[in-house]
Structures are given as structure tokens and as C-alpha cells.
Structure 1
Amino acid sequence: MTESLEHTGPDPIVDVTGAREVADDLVVIPNHGVQLVPNVGVIGGAHSVLVVETGMGPRNAEAVLKFADEYAKGRRLYLTTTHFHPEHAFGAQTFAGEATYLVNGAQAEDLAAKGDGYLHMFRGLGASVARQLEGVELRAPDVVYGEAHDLDLGGRVVRLRATGRAHSRGDQVVTVPDAGVMFTGDLAETGQFAIFPWFPPHDTDVSGTRWIAVMRRLAAEAPRVVVPGHGDIGGPGLLADVRDYLELLRDETWARRDSAASEETIVEEVRALMIERHPEWAGREWIERGVGCLCAEHPDHDPDGSHAE
């Protein structure tokens, strides 16, 4: 992490008081615009309830679990996370014995391989983040599926789908077909530049080209309600906005790469262009990391042709 990524906002605490019903028996605990707080979902069926995201650390997870338990009114609890990053998954230990935790295989591998490193990295973001991460014990999931799992909550089936490598290697989208609701995790954010966890040589699994392909597929599904990883709840236009941004970021980066510009020049020019296009968006520090990722994915630097559209 660089100093530009230091957390300077309010303490990353989940506030359950603003829970919002977005469909029948389906609520979202919004992040209220607080950095490093995810949007949390609670999805109900006749006999079970699924919680999506834990919040960062055991104390946030305790608040989420208490809310979910009261909401469930005796129904069985399940937990899933859209990817392994700390604010989304590093409270899973709190749910042990209370909820069955299930994720896709790539996400489970991410957690096992990178969890300790991300715990250390996030503790370095500042005292307010380190406080929330006190006492974290990384919990392995109870159930690991391959690429797709349909979870029956009783009269409602929730689709868990691994997307393949994009924002992370183990991204998962959670869809509630009968309600037209989709939880994207950090594949989509509202009002901020796409988060590229591009930290060479430590973590280079983010893929801009594959991310574009994923967003094209998700946008084509046109869900009624999109719950992003962070930011306001939106509609299908949110998915199209992220797709368009990523495509523009790729095109402008690659055009400059083709002209043999230095990466420093590419970053400077592309950053200025993206801010001009979206002056109201937060997270400008992620533009540079997106450029770095896409420079590495330029066809001249991908001889096996493995990057996908």
C-alpha cells in the first residue's frame, strides 16, 4: 500500500439502523458512504436467511449477526461473501456455529493464500482500521462450491456464481432472481473509480480485460436492483457505467501504450482524462493502479493471449 491509500475517513463501522427493504423479505444495510464499509445484504426465504458480507472484523460482524438473527426469527442462517477482502469477509469468525459459511473455490483459495497478507496490509492503513481488525481470526468456509451454487432458502432460490478473475480471482455475484436483485461486491461501485487491487509483486490477480468481460455479461442480465460493493444502490445503468468506464480506461491506456509513451506519461494523461469525465467520483488513487494493470495486460505484454474480452 502507498500513503495515498491511507484511510482518513470515519471509522469503518457498519450502521445497521439504516437497513432498507429493496424487495419482499430482502433488506440491505447500506454503507452510508463510509469508506471500507460494504453494503450488507440479508435475504430471507421460508426456512432460511442468507447474509451477504460480514463487515470488517469481529465487532462489525457481531452487529450484522445480531441484526440477521433478529430478522431471521428462528430461521436457519447462511453466510456468503462476494470476495475475500477484509471489509467484506474478515468477520466470518463471528458467524461460526451460528451460520453456514459458503463461497466459491477460488475465493476460498484467495483467503487461504492471501488473507494474512491483506490483514497485515489493512492494519497499516491507519488506527481506525487497525481497531476494527483487532482479534481477527481467518475462518475457512464450511461449504466450497465450484463455479455455481443454487441456495434454497425455502420458496426462494439464491444464485451464487463465481465470475472468474476480475476485481479478484475469486469474485462472486449473488443474484435473487424472483426479486431481480444482484449483489456485485467490488465488481461495481457507485460514484467512485473502479478499485484495482494492483500491488505488484504481492498481488496482481486483478484483471481489467476479464473485468470488462464480466461487466458485459452482468449488464446484459439487466437486474432491477443492483447492490454494489460500496455506494448507493442502483439499477442496471450502474453496471453499464462501470463497463463503459473500464472500456474507456483500457482504450485510452492501450492507445498510449501503442504510441510508446512511458507509463508515467500514460498515468498522467489517462488520470486527467478520467477525472475530467467523472469529476464527482471518489477514489482517484485507483486510476493509476488501473493503468498499471492494463499496461501489463496490453497484448504486447501477454504473449500467451490469455487476456479475454
Structure 2
Amino acid sequence: MHTTGRFTEVADRVWVAHYDWLHVNITLVGGSDGLVMVDTHGSTRQARMVADDAARLGVGAVTALVNTHDHWDHWFGNDALVTAYGDVPIHATQFALDKMVERGGRHDAHLADEPHAEEILATELRPATHGFSSAHPLVLGDRLVELIHPGRGHTAGDLVVRVPDADVVVMGDLVEESDKPWIGDDSYPLEWPATLDLALQMITPATVVVPGHGELVDREFVHDQRSELGIIAETIRDLAGRGVPATSALEEGDWPWDPSLLATAVQRGFEQLPRSQKRLPLA
């Protein structure tokens, strides 16, 4: 097993580095024709550290980048890594690519509250360059790497990276270990469980699962997180079907997580329910 610095080999020619800031995971997948890096961290400074760590590993040249979705902590390092590696392709779902292009060079205003605000705001933004809709193969000589969009969940443009011969699946933020998955104002809480059902079809009891944040997990962990998200989705449907208004749902529901984490989930869920699944609010 080849380990240098932060990168640890977790399966044959698959390395993962865990970074304390945001508990972000960066994955390298190697083949005879080079390396693919999955996610690039959240700033130029952090991405330069990633490049240095990858160079110390000494296992080949990075020939492609992959962004698991369009949230800043997973792609703001793109520019620094293209500077380090040359004009390599950057793969993402077409939805994620379009969202990156749409923002242009703008940084989110809320980043001013981040402890690393200065370095984030100084980061040059470089969107992904190669989009796909449902699946895309990357051939690294003797190894096939599969990019798969299993459906909407954390965002509308999540992808997972599957390395079949090594039995590794990189999940992005469809699964998180360091905290509960973030259900934000661009999430799809009602669809997320079905998206994980599809992803679970790729995961065996022996699969190494790399979450977007936190320690490595396994199929049981993904299944449990899917079950919790399923309870959240069904609770939203049940409350709406009984005529409980969205404004009262957090107090009325029997939630698997602290309700303070679910305000946006409830709002999004009620918005995304078809009219036929809602009743008039109870008097």
C-alpha cells in the first residue's frame, strides 16, 4: 500500500486525502495512462496543497479532473490544478457545469463569514469543461472509471465515480460522514432516497465508499443514511397530505434528525410536492 503525506491507498491504485478544513476528501484514481483527481477543494491555496500532496505520492501525472457537483468547496480549486497540470479536461454533469459557468467569476456573498474568506475570495474560478447527462466513461489505459449521475439529491447535478475493478465508489455529498448531509436550497429531499437506491446497486458489502466529507464508509452506512433521508421525505409527504402547513411541519413531524437541520428540507419538500399530494392547511 502506497501512502505519502495525506494520500492513503484505500484500494488498488485508488488514493484518498482527507483535509481538516471542511473535512473534504480528494480522491486519486490511477491507471496506466495517468491519474484522475476527484474534486479539487475550495480555494487556490488549498488546491496547491492538494497538488503538492499528489506530487509527493509520485504515482503518475494527473490527466483529468472531476467535480462531483457545483458547490464551491468541491471545485474552487480547479484553476490552481489546471495551472499545475496543464490544460486537462474537467468533468462534471452538464447541470453542474452550467451552474459553474452561470456564476462567472462571482463568489457567494455568504463566504464573507467563512474563516478562510480571504483566500476563497482571492480564488480564480474555472468551471468544468466537459459535461454529460447520465453516464460517461473515462479510460485510463488499463482501467475504466465510470462517472454516473444517479439522480437529484444534494443538488440536481450530483455524480458518483465508480472504479469497478477496485470496488470503490466516490459519492460526493450524496453521502457525508463528518456531519449529516446538507439539505440546502438547491437540494431535492423527496428524490434523494431514490437516488441513493440507485447508487446502492453499485455498492457491495466489500465496496470502499468515499463520502464528500469525513471518514470512509461502507454499504451499511450508505443504507442507513438513505433510510434517514427516506423518513424525512415520507414525513414531509405525510404532513402535507394531512394538511399540516409547512410553517408548522418542524414542530409536528417525528424527525430522525434534529429539526433545526431540516428547515430548508421541509420548505423544499413542500415546494416540490405535486398539488395532488397536498391538502388544504388544517384550521
TM-score of the superposed pair, with normalisation by structure 2: 0.86
Q: CA RMSD in A?
A: 2.4
Matched with 2:210 is: 227
Q: Which runs of 5+ in 2 are unaligned?
A: 279-283
Displaced runs of 4+ in structure 1, greater than 6 A? none
Any idea what SS the aligned residue of 2:15 has?
Answer: strand
Residue 91 of structure 1 deviates from its aligned partner by: 1.0
Matched with 2:281 is: none
C-alpha distance in 2 between matches for 1:229 and 1:300: 34
Q: Which of 232, 239, 260 is the aligned partner of 1:249?
A: 232
Assess if the C-alpha contact under 8 Å between 1:226 and 1:238 holds in 2: no
Q: Which of 97, 115, 138 is the aligned partner of 1:151?
A: 138
Q: Which of 251, 254, 269 is the aligned partner of 1:294?
A: 269
Residue 176 of structure 1 deviates from its aligned partner by: 0.6
1:82–1:115: structure 2 CA closer, same or farther, 3 Å change rule?
Answer: farther
Residue 84 of structure 1 deviates from its aligned partner by: 1.2
Q: Identity over the aligned pairs, expressed in percent?
A: 26
Q: Does 1:64 pair with 2:55? A: no
Q: 1:218-240, CA deviations, whole angstroms, 9 ceiling, x for partnerless residues? A: 11222411111112211111221
AA in 2 matched with 1:177 = P
Once the two structures are overlaid, the 10-residue window that deviates more, 129-138 or 57-66, is 129-138
Matched with 1:39 is: 25
Q: Which runs of 5+ in 1 are unaligned?
A: 1-15, 199-204, 277-283, 304-309
AA in 1 matched with 2:219 = P
Any idea what SS the aligned residue of 2:166 has?
Answer: coil
Alignment of 1:80-99 (within 5 A): 80-97=66-83, 98=85, 99=88
C-alpha distance in 1 between matches for 2:57 and 2:208: 21
Q: Does 1:101 pair with 2:76? A: no
Q: Which of 17, 20, 29 is the aligned partner of 1:29?
A: 17
Alignment of 1:101-120 (within 5 A): 101-114=90-103, 119-120=107-108
Q: 1:45-81, CA deviations, whole angstroms, 9 ceiling, x for partnerless residues? A: 1121011111110001011112223435443421111
Matched with 1:129 is: 116
Assess if the C-alpha contact under 8 Å between 1:122 and 1:130 holds in 2: no
C-alpha distance in 2 between matches for 1:208 and 1:256: 15
